[in-house]
Structure 1
Amino acid sequence: MEFVCLDIICVSHLLEEACVAGLSIDSPKPGHFQPPPPVAQWALEACKAKQRGIRYKITGCHTRNQNIVTNNLSRRDAEKHLNDARNLLGDLERIHDRIIELVDDDDVAATQNTQHLAYASTVDAASALVKNYLLQRQDDNSSVVPETEAQAAIRRALQAAEQRVREARAEVEAAEQAFMDLGGDFSALGETELGPPDSVSQAG
């Protein structure tokens, strides 16, 4: 839950910036979030902030699949994490294209291309890993087993916690969008407040 706490701190900073500007932002209500503008309309700092978060998630999906393979865990979970990584890579492609449109420095663009290819390679590696894992276990019996009452209670608690995380992240995204709409500058908040660190170094 460490990253959720960082996200909440980030929301506080965004709202403080709005107050300094003499404006108020109503807290978004569940189910009433305005859809964000298309990527083609994003500013460079917004693209980089979202890019960092997606890169972190892709790395997380691959790490979880490595753990599944190492410990001979659920094949269904491995396929889910792989599908998540592929979908995230699609989002990352669109953001990367937008960043390349916006940057006017060839060195920065080259670094962005190199880093993007690294994450695409990570997803390719995850795909090969899961494919091989499923092939090795194709003759195994299904890993689905009946739940005990205690296991069911834990699962429900985890689902509730995941929902709270999703709501917190949605609030962060809404606050970030409001901040950008007010002309806010993400770079003024400091890199460490905008998202978890990447395994690949950032540049530009």
Structure 2
Amino acid sequence: MLQKCKEELEGLGLRMKFPAKGADLSTRYCSAYLKIMVGATAIAHSSETKANCKILMVSGERRGESLNRSRYNECEIHGMNAEIRNRRTVHVFRPIIDWSLSDVWEKIRRFRIQPCPTYEIFNRCSCAICVFNSPSHWASVKLIYPNLFQQVVDAEKELGFTLGDMLPCLKAGASQIIGDRNLSPPWRLYPSLVFFRLRYVFQS
């Protein structure tokens, strides 16, 4: 698996390291290259947003999610702002920055919003093989996407570096780890339901 990746990335530069578990986007490069820079490139090159426009980017971060996010401003100038060069004004607005998690769920219930179905099972929804995954998340990946999980295990061996939180999954069965407190009933009691629930929702 990694050999094929090497061949494809030779001309682009090769780090051969997992993204770091930190706020620095130069080392946690997955967020930089797969999310932030994708959006920035779209703004810079789209005919509708390249110049002569005003953009408001609304984002759902909350201060309570992490130490890094606790320092975010509610409203600020975005990095793609270019008022002088391209007459493009870009602001970021974080309307729920000071909300608690209970505030979020109260609004969801009040306005009868259908949340992403993964929140029925997990308290966090991100990339399937995010470096910040907890042991219970890795156990779920192992259960639902065993081939993907094995690719990460193989990558750990080749790189000589472990993500750490995957170790419990290697030492115990997924059904043992998936009973983590992060999961709510009935998923904690019947881990196989996780597989069927997610497959049903996203394939229907």
TM over 0.5: no
* Structure with more relative contact order (C-alpha pairs < 8 Å, separation 6 or more): 1
Considering fraction of residues, name the structure with more strand: 2
* TM range, smaller chain: under 0.3
State the TM-score, normalizing by the size of structure 2: 0.23
Considering fraction of residues, name the structure with more helix: 1
State the TM-score, normalizing by the size of structure 1: 0.23
